[in-house]
Structure 1
């Protein structure tokens, strides 16, 4: 069930809402993304221009995206854009250092594994259980794709996100200390978490109203 009668949960990013998704992503992860995609307005435009619409689950309120969770399957994630795209947007002088930063975010799924991106929720809609609904849908997508495990990374400065993941069956697998990234991106450790995909995950409804 939806936590609010006016909310609709939907798989896939609706056409025309790319800017809304990019704004949510930047609000949630801008500190981490800014070294690679600054200034903010250009970074949001880059994200919007290179979205893979079929690699996300969104919550809609009055046809506006108010929350999003992305995932990576079959070599494609919600946020895209390759080497040529970065160099075209920023030029070779600024683009090459940005590619080096973006490489820090690369995560390749293991066989039968889904890699999940973080969840971004509009500030006005937090505390309504939307993150839990998105995680349930992500698990259903993983089950239908034949995945046996979901993997994600959570930074040390986001304990609320880690608590949410733990409530949904994720457990810490390893923690990598990254003190060299604290000044650049604002965090000093990254914990990789795993969650098994079960048969029960496949029974989740495709959308909630």
Structure 2
């Protein structure tokens, strides 16, 4: 997509972040209404302001040329385990949330955002990039596999 650029999200982007966060919440609610509330809001404005301002939780957005319209995002978190008795002391960039606006799907926004995250992780000395995907979202899982991600752990459940 030639009409977009990727940059760190800022406080002024909070309304657009909320718009896409609602789309993700709807996908999760549709797939697992037993776990996810309808019409949920993941963060308050103050929480989002704190997240985008924190270098430990970088948020990247794919913005239209107008620098206001958000096509997609990736919420990331640096993870480290110094002094852990079991885990090695590596730096992981965990993708906590990734979304492409429903209206922009099929235009390679997700690929651009993901590649930006990979480049950022490399530049910052990360050993790996990880994420979780809900099994009720096979489209996302197929996208991640197409990007070269492979399962490294599997969550399982029994509903009682």
Bin for the TM-score computed over the shorter chain: 0.7 to 0.9
Q: 1:57 to 1:34 in 2, by over 3 A?
A: farther
Q: Determine the structure 1 residue equivalent to 2:147.
A: 168
Match of 2:109 among 116, 130, 141: 130
The whole-number CA distance in structure 1 between the counterparts of 2:37 and 2:44 is 11
Q: Which runs of 4+ in 1 moved over 4 A?
A: 32-39
Structure 1 position 144 matched with structure 2 position 123: yes
Deviation at 1:74, TM superposition (A): 5.7
Q: Deviations over 1:128-149 (max 9, x none)?
A: 0110001101111111111111
Bigger fraction of residues in helix? 1
**1:42-57 matched pairs, under 5 angstroms:** 43=41, 46-51=43-48, 52-53=51-52, 54=55, 55-57=58-60
- Note the residue ranges of structure 2 that are not aligned, 5 or more in a row: 81-88
The whole-number CA distance in structure 2 between the counterparts of 1:117 and 1:151 is 9
Matched position secondary structure for 1:173? coil
Deviation at 1:36, TM superposition (A): 9.1
Q: Determine the structure 1 residue equivalent to 2:11.
A: 15
Deviation at 1:124, TM superposition (A): 0.9
Q: Deviations over 1:6-58 (max 9, x none)?
A: 22222x113311021022012113445999996747x26x4432122151110
Q: CA RMSD in A?
A: 2.9
What is the TM-score when the length of structure 2 is the normalising length? 0.74
The whole-number CA distance in structure 1 between the counterparts of 2:13 and 2:38 is 21
Q: Determine the structure 1 residue equivalent to 2:62.
A: 59
The whole-number CA distance in structure 1 between the counterparts of 2:159 and 2:126 is 34
**How many pairs does the alignment contain?**
142
The whole-number CA distance in structure 2 between the counterparts of 1:37 and 1:18 is 22
The whole-number CA distance in structure 1 between the counterparts of 2:112 and 2:34 is 31
Structure 1 position 6 matched with structure 2 position 3: yes
- Note the residue ranges of structure 1 that are not aligned, 5 or more in a row: 76-109, 182-209
The whole-number CA distance in structure 2 between the counterparts of 1:67 and 1:148 is 25
What is the TM-score when the length of structure 1 is the normalising length? 0.58
Q: Determine the structure 2 residue equivalent to 1:69.
A: 74
